[in-house]
Structure 1
Amino acid sequence: MSCGSWCDWVASILKIPMTNLIPIHDAHRIDQLRGELRIEPGLLRRLRIAFFKKGATADDALAQLPEGVRERFAERVAFHPLRLDHRADSQQDGASKLIFKTDADYLIESVILRPGTGRTALCVSSQVGCAAACDFCATGKMGMAHSLPAAAILDQLVQANQLLAAEDRRVRNLVFMGMGEPLHNEENIYEVLAALANPQLFHHSMNRVLVSTVGIPDAMIRLARRFPQVNIALSLHAVRQQAREQIVPLARKHPVDQLRATIQQLNTLQGRPVMLEHLMLAGVNDSLDEARELAAWCEGLLVHVNLIPYNPIAGAPHLIGTPPAERKAFAQVLKDAGVTTTTRYSMGQDIEAACGQLVQQGNREVAKRAAAARA
């Protein structure tokens, strides 16, 4: 019997809710359980190395423990709060979309990216849906937002590494650019980052973690203070206030002048560039005048501008991506002004796994059924 089936069976027989099991990433409580079960510290260390660092399955990780305590440990611990529902592999560029189901039957998406550099990346989701409701984003048009617990966010990485182990790969770069606004799930994100940095668990370099946000100034500063090595990306998209409000509704609450002051603080706290994401939308934010305004806005800031092609979504037929030649001209204005600029390309378009395309419409029906059950 696999660990997932074993844990489900034990929970049902003993009437233990899965939520009462100890998440495998909870180092303190797992250490307490080790003492209670009298497991040698070295054996637990081997289990953690296998599970968190080598992409081992839960069963293989449990095999590091003596047979007498293996089942007792497994019946108390939650290894996988997510179930892999299905997987889609791009035929164009090697991206893989992993669609997971939560214990409440919501679907979330993660995307494995295998660029030519060999630096495998994973784009993780932090919420089911997103309240930011950006005009270009399919996730934001789902009309709902539920924050994921830390264990569910981390499990996306665990299961991705288990799949990649067969390819002799491992996730190198972790980006919080999937479904949801990470800083609307702030405390769970902090728990995730602490687990990632913990040498007993993932021991993942914070320099290879990027948290992307639509721009929540106070939370951005708190993040930088608690985890100064984490890279921060701001979905800016326009420095003209009216244009940004059209693209990002939250801009009405946090104007561009406030965001610029926030970046200045981040530069002082971190001493590293803040990534500025600029989605190229024809007739909205892609004129050469706007390029010059963006360059002037960046003056005196430590930033790196990423120009991103628009990936069409059904919910925004009025948006059109900027043609490549015009993206190149926009980029040249920034480069001539001394602004570090990269023109990005999208991966996973053929499986709707590119930036802005992640959506699971069936979640609306799950939310309706849950609301009806509570009524």
Structure 2
Amino acid sequence: MSSELSIYDTPAIDRLRHELRFDPHALRRYRNALLKHGRADADAATELPADVREEFLRRVGLHPLELHCRNDSQQDGASKLLFRTRAGMLIESVILRIATGRTTLCVSSQVGCAAACDFCATGKMGIAQNLQPAEILDQITQSRQILATEGRQLRNLVFMGMGEPFHNEENLYATLEALQAPELFHQPPSRILVSTVGLPNAMIRCARRFPNLNLALSLHSANQETRQQIIPLAKRFPLAELRRALVELNRIQPKSTEVMVEYLMLGGVNDSLESAAELAAWLDGLRVHVNLIPFNPIDDAPHLQGADRPTREAFGAHLKSAGLKTTIRYSLGADVAAACGQLVRKENRKHAIAIKTANLSEA
């Protein structure tokens, strides 16, 4: 375990500043340069007094993650970043340069995922390990530094990368606190979205703690039997419970906030007009916005295929005619396996097996 202080641990960093006896305004300028403006480490460090700079940087850990490699899409401007943790595992973040000019970062909260959804490569990894707040936040820091070299600013954060965020609930909350803290990132909650496969009690706890935060539910079917086929956790958290959770979210959150309902369009599974009618009926009376998402094929699910574009558009038209706000999404980063459900797994599998073998040998 590293003895370094985390740059995100505000009380510890403030104590170090007091010990080294330098101007708090210099520390504020340094953190602003690094965390808000994405300046390079060495450049941001020039905001620290020269006489304490070396000692401060010796004792403070900036990056618990190492940038392992970067793959840039040649189609649409997405970038997949592979980070290696100090435990040797790989995680992914994806920079999405939206055509409108807004830039979004898709953040991972775990290595792997225990939800094991049928359509998702991450869930096929066979492991699920929580990331610490500093490991989640460093994805944002390093991504912001990359974008700063392009003259871009990171606007939106979506927790839609590797992992089920509410399986790492307390670390997620610590991360959200740091993101919104004025002395750190000062990210408005309206520009943060947390996506879950559907843990109703955790969704309600999160909304009560962060009422202005955006939440997304990966629903994918309003039919209990169909949903269980593609999302194993649906057996534990049936649709009736999720519906009650959405009603409560609508009560807790401001009237201007809508719950995002993610719906992956799977050919022959959930893409019929009958499925659209079921979905419209299930969502009736709720303050929601539906996102229809194209499916990106994965090797571990050859039995699944995406719905074609006319089917997706007909499905969306049915929802709109029922009065539901609906957006038909198009994938970014598919050519670098950066799109939803295409996250790294092979190397982590090998590393997890090696660790397990070593532990058994020691025992």
* Range class of TM-score, shorter chain: over 0.9
Aligned to 2:111: 128
Amino acid at match of 1:288: L
Correspondence for 2:288 among 300, 303, 319: 303
Give the Å deviation of 1:372: 2.5
Alignment of 1:361 onto 2:346: yes
Aligned to 2:48: 65
Contiguous gaps of at least 5 residues in structure 2 = none
Aligned to 1:54: 37
Alignment of 1:285 onto 2:261: no
In 1, distance between residues paired with 2:99 and 2:243?
Answer: 34
Amino acid at match of 2:309: P
In 2, distance between residues paired with 1:327 and 1:86?
Answer: 34
Superposition map of 1:147-166 within 5 A: 147-166=130-149
In 2, distance between residues paired with 1:141 and 1:75?
Answer: 40
Correspondence for 1:42 among 5, 10, 25: 25
Superposition map of 1:206-245 within 5 A: 206-245=189-228
Aligned to 1:3: none
Aligned to 2:155: 172
Superposition map of 1:295-374 within 5 A: 295-374=280-359
Correspondence for 2:121 among 117, 120, 138: 138
Give the Å deviation of 1:374: 2.4
In 2, distance between residues paired with 1:312 and 1:356?
Answer: 8
Normalising by the residue count of structure 1, what TM-score does the alignment of the two structures yield? 0.94
Give the Å deviation of 1:205: 0.8
Q: For 1:71, what is the secondary structure of its paired residue? A: helix
Q: Which range moves more in the overlay, 340-349 or 353-362? A: 353-362
Residues 215-266 of structure 1, C-alpha deviations (whole Å, 9 max, x = no match): 0011111110111111000000001000000110000000011100000000
**Identity among equivalent pairs (%):** 59
Give the Å deviation of 1:164: 0.6
Q: Which range moves more in the overlay, 171-180 or 68-77? A: 68-77
Alignment of 1:98 onto 2:73: no
In 2, distance between residues paired with 1:102 and 1:292?
Answer: 45
Amino acid at match of 2:64: P
Normalising by the residue count of structure 2, what TM-score does the alignment of the two structures yield? 0.97
Alignment of 1:263 onto 2:246: yes
Alignment of 1:21 onto 2:16: no
Q: For 2:184, what is the secondary structure of its paired residue? A: coil
In 1, distance between residues paired with 2:213 and 2:359?
Answer: 39
Give the Å deviation of 1:36: 1.0
Instruction: Give 4+ residue runs of structure 1 displaced > 2 Å after superposition.
Output: 372-375
In 2, distance between residues paired with 1:166 and 1:75?
Answer: 25
Residues 166-202 of structure 1, C-alpha deviations (whole Å, 9 max, x = no match): 1111110000000110110011111111011000010
In 1, distance between residues paired with 2:345 and 2:121?
Answer: 9
RMSD of aligned C-alpha atoms? Answer: 0.8
Correspondence for 1:186 among 169, 184, 189: 169
Aligned to 2:182: 199
Residues 95-119 of structure 1, C-alpha deviations (whole Å, 9 max, x = no match): 0000000001100010000011111
Amino acid at match of 1:92: Q
In 1, distance between residues paired with 2:11 and 2:250?
Answer: 34
In 2, distance between residues paired with 1:360 and 1:102?
Answer: 14
In 1, distance between residues paired with 2:24 and 2:34?
Answer: 15
Give the Å deviation of 1:290: 1.0
Q: For 1:75, what is the secondary structure of its paired residue? A: helix
Q: For 2:268, what is the secondary structure of its paired residue? A: coil
In 2, distance between residues paired with 1:228 and 1:169?
Answer: 29
Q: For 1:185, what is the secondary structure of its paired residue? A: helix
